[in-house]
Structure 1
């Protein structure tokens, strides 16, 4: 769940299809160990991110069911200089969807639901609900509109909202006929959380405890609430010029099911290890979860790390960015939880895995931002539209900081490392301006989009 950032959710994740099974043949952890040299290089990699003020967070690596590496860097809270450590709790955004899918599969195993159960049984007021199945919700094939894309979403996401209020938001239309397309949508998992509560007569929070936290012996995992730094819970931050600013908090009633879980890097790996070892769901359930169709399993996706395929999920909510992927061919699970990021988490995942596998990997060389004056930004300002990307972009400035606003919903402050090129690294987004032609190129998600300036 990304604040739930539409820039990510509307872009396709490049995913390969595979069918993994829950058996000992998948786990080759005995063939790969983290040696002293690799440990040092991973430390050097993370230190370079910390020393160049490119992010803060925690990393955990499991081989099989054992943690072989952990590292925390930066602050859980900048104001009090509270350092992050291995017990620091982070909100994990859309990685919560793996938790929700696990709960749903357990309820299916208990015969309280099936993958074919219709949404109309619970919420008939939602358009096409008599055609929307539990499986369509899990696989993002429902066509339900995404409430996080509402034009006024940023005016209410930090406040508690009732179920009736959010359900009513989903009655206002449909994106496509159910089953005809696949489109990532946070509303799907909000509905799954509500359905889980309805059929169990328990709260979503209690279901997470019952099916995950208790059997996995997780003491620092559950629904996140208002952040409490005295409980070693990390605040989240967004890049602001050359520094960081405290981000707002999405209320858990808004992110329930889709992005409300908070945990530590260690406990996230414990959960994934239990899941992929068939300790909290059956082998049949796990195989269904891992079956990738049009980019999505049931609460799982895949990640291509330079040819190495992992299965797991990414997540982003407020200033938190998370990635956790299990690589069955090596028996390794890597979790990266950040509360401030100016370095693409995907690149961290690729780098750490490459080092672990003793593949060639050069530590990043970070450029220093250019020292721009306010008047230097004037040539970039204006409104931009694209024929290939549906959201208009407004470029303005705040003193000597460039401000990029996407569709009036999202605001970023990318950094300039070379003339006319501004980078927002936590998203891996690059804005390249061609002011003499009134154009801008947005590079994101392995694709480039051309924007034309329509007025200054």
Structure 2
């Protein structure tokens, strides 16, 4: 009987082990398929490490660390980890707290009494750590009022930074709001030096890097130049351009000046979990001494962000510098960790405007999390050469609406899509170009407003405003603001061309979305229109996209389906085209736009 019980238990354990092994193999393959698809379109270059139950289940590198030297990225490649540095700096601060050398409640004025003397006494160490200081002073970011400094190529001393910020004020009372602040971590790095009596680099080496076994992690330098992943611009394009750093690391000490590997960061996360770097109570404090970020239920901890993916907690930090992108996070309930380091961005995110993705690391991360949670994902489609040419002749014409048509051309199995119609438009902005005017009272109100704005003739507009908005639309001050807005649009967006209503939503209160077409940029305004058809509010519409590309190459992905690589066509979203003998479907995300076949030549 005992033998039978033992045999039964052994059998059950064997089945469970087999099931777990099969799941992990399938998970590994799905993760690899994901990265391979992004790598195919040059949307990921770098190294990745994913663990589950303290075991690495996926580790792989993609692309080149040094394209000129033909050196590929490996697990030993060293990357700038950008703002992941903050997570490590926070652990250094908490080590000093554990040792009784400072507290989270210690005010900044204790160490820098002459810095913002009217305010620094109210800003604590915790406020700096969870971005709730409220300081106007910032580095790497400037606000709408011009507060903050951008890093420069030449080195700067800490005293010089303090001098530049000597007249800074507060945006809000410390601890009463959230505003991401790199300068706060420069203050923390200098507090570490004052309290420990060591340089920031030496302290971090002894307190964090060495105990965690991080042999390839350094401050503002690379442990081995031969292992350095050079930074590149051109992510998602056909060519990469090597990019030299536009600033000296002294500007972002403590905030974004560390260089590391995926293996070292995995060791760091394990050491934090296992009580090697800090006591459990201190680690818990990192995740619970939080400030609400004002987005969903996201919280800013001490060097980490506490969020949720599905019903699971997701604790992470990410980083972005020109040519470098990174993420480091964990799903505690799954006991899974994700570390991604990349040495390519699409453009310089500090200086250049770009409507597409600067990096695909966040998008990839979300898909990895979905896979770890047992969900299905959609990878980027790989090309196929099996298009049914009986469906696509030399030229096919498809009509989306009265003003917008598409021409699909087949020239020697090279497929091209062109837009046609009454006015120039782009396939990437059809969702905004089409006319959603319902020819009803809310549309009439919105069209009157749009005409008033575009002609700057506001006579009669007050009749379309509710009592509250009459105080704005019926005054010289309010109309002066609208005139100033329009002048600013013309200055930055070029010559005005036309407008249209592209979306109307809502029940009793309608939100009418108006798109104003300018020479270089399109601008959206949403009007909130009440049941009496009066304007009760208005706000800018950030969802409006601009693209003037009217010809795109199609990538065949099945017998009757094409992929449009948006990133290589002005930075817009990816699209799909499905063709049949009777028509065409333009797939823009989850929205399908149907077009009927007009003719075939």
* Range of TM-score over shorter length: 0.7 to 0.9
1:243 deviates by 2.6
1:152 deviates by 11
Structure 1 residues 63, 308: closer, same or farther in 2, change over 3 A? same
1:208 aligns with 2:204: yes
Report the Cα distance in structure 1 between the residues aligned to 2:360 and 2:307, rounded to whole angstroms: 14
Report the Cα distance in structure 1 between the residues aligned to 2:302 and 2:489, rounded to whole angstroms: 29
SS in 1 for 2:318: strand
Report the Cα distance in structure 2 between the residues aligned to 1:452 and 1:52, rounded to whole angstroms: 22
Q: Partner residue of 1:264?
A: 261
Q: Partner residue of 2:295?
A: none
Conserved 8 A contact 1:32-1:330: no
Q: Partner residue of 2:181?
A: 185
Kindly report which structure 2 residues correspond to 1:177-256, keeping only aligned pairs within 5 A, or say none: 177-225=173-221, 230-239=225-234, 242-249=238-245, 250-256=247-253
Number of equivalent positions: 373
Report the Cα distance in structure 2 between the residues aligned to 1:281 and 1:248, rounded to whole angstroms: 36
1:171 aligns with 2:169: no
The higher relative CO (CA closer than 8 Å, separation ≥ 6) is in 1
1:435 aligns with 2:435: no
Deviations 1:331-366 (A, max 9, x none): 111101111145521111121222233311121238
1:154 deviates by 8.1
Report the Cα distance in structure 2 between the residues aligned to 1:60 and 1:169, rounded to whole angstroms: 41
1:74 aligns with 2:63: yes
1:47 deviates by 1.1
Report the Cα distance in structure 1 between the residues aligned to 2:152 and 2:415, rounded to whole angstroms: 32
1:96 aligns with 2:85: yes
Conserved 8 A contact 2:220-2:258: yes
Report the Cα distance in structure 2 between the residues aligned to 1:361 and 1:158, rounded to whole angstroms: 42
Report the Cα distance in structure 1 between the residues aligned to 2:126 and 2:490, rounded to whole angstroms: 33
Moved more, 311-320 or 171-180: 171-180
Structure 1 residues 452, 322: closer, same or farther in 2, change over 3 A? closer
Of the three residues 277, 280, 283, the one matched with 2:277 is: 280
Conserved 8 A contact 2:324-2:341: yes
Q: Partner residue of 2:112?
A: 123
Structure 1 residues 339, 168: closer, same or farther in 2, change over 3 A? same
1:216 deviates by 0.9
Report the Cα distance in structure 1 between the residues aligned to 2:34 and 2:381, rounded to whole angstroms: 10
Structure 1 residues 109, 247: closer, same or farther in 2, change over 3 A? same
Please, which runs of 5 or more residues in structure 2 have no aligned partner? 1-18, 293-298, 347-358, 384-413, 419-423, 430-482, 495-513, 526-539, 547-601
Q: Partner residue of 2:542?
A: 449
Q: Partner residue of 1:135?
A: 126
Of the three residues 146, 151, 154, the one matched with 2:138 is: 146
Report the Cα distance in structure 2 between the residues aligned to 1:223 and 1:178, rounded to whole angstroms: 29
Kindly report which structure 2 residues correspond to 1:329-348, keeping only aligned pairs within 5 A, or say none: 329-341=333-345, 343-348=359-364
Conserved 8 A contact 1:238-1:247: yes
Deviations 1:123-167 (A, max 9, x none): 122221111111111111112221323569887523211111122
1:53 deviates by 1.2
Q: Partner residue of 1:320?
A: 324
Report the Cα distance in structure 2 between the residues aligned to 1:358 and 1:452, rounded to whole angstroms: 33
Conserved 8 A contact 2:515-2:544: no
Moved more, 151-160 or 238-247: 151-160
Conserved 8 A contact 1:193-1:257: yes
Structure 1 residues 57, 111: closer, same or farther in 2, change over 3 A? same
1:283 deviates by 1.1
Report the Cα distance in structure 2 between the residues aligned to 1:370 and 1:434, rounded to whole angstroms: 28
Report the Cα distance in structure 1 between the residues aligned to 2:227 and 2:106, rounded to whole angstroms: 40
Structure 1 residues 357, 307: closer, same or farther in 2, change over 3 A? same
Structure 1 residues 308, 281: closer, same or farther in 2, change over 3 A? same
1:451 deviates by 7.8
Report the Cα distance in structure 2 between the residues aligned to 1:441 and 1:189, rounded to whole angstroms: 37
1:293 deviates by 2.7
Q: Partner residue of 1:52?
A: 41
For the aligned residues, what is the CA RMSD? 3.7
Moved over 3 A (4+): 31-34, 150-156, 227-230, 303-308, 365-372, 390-396, 450-453
SS in 1 for 2:153: coil
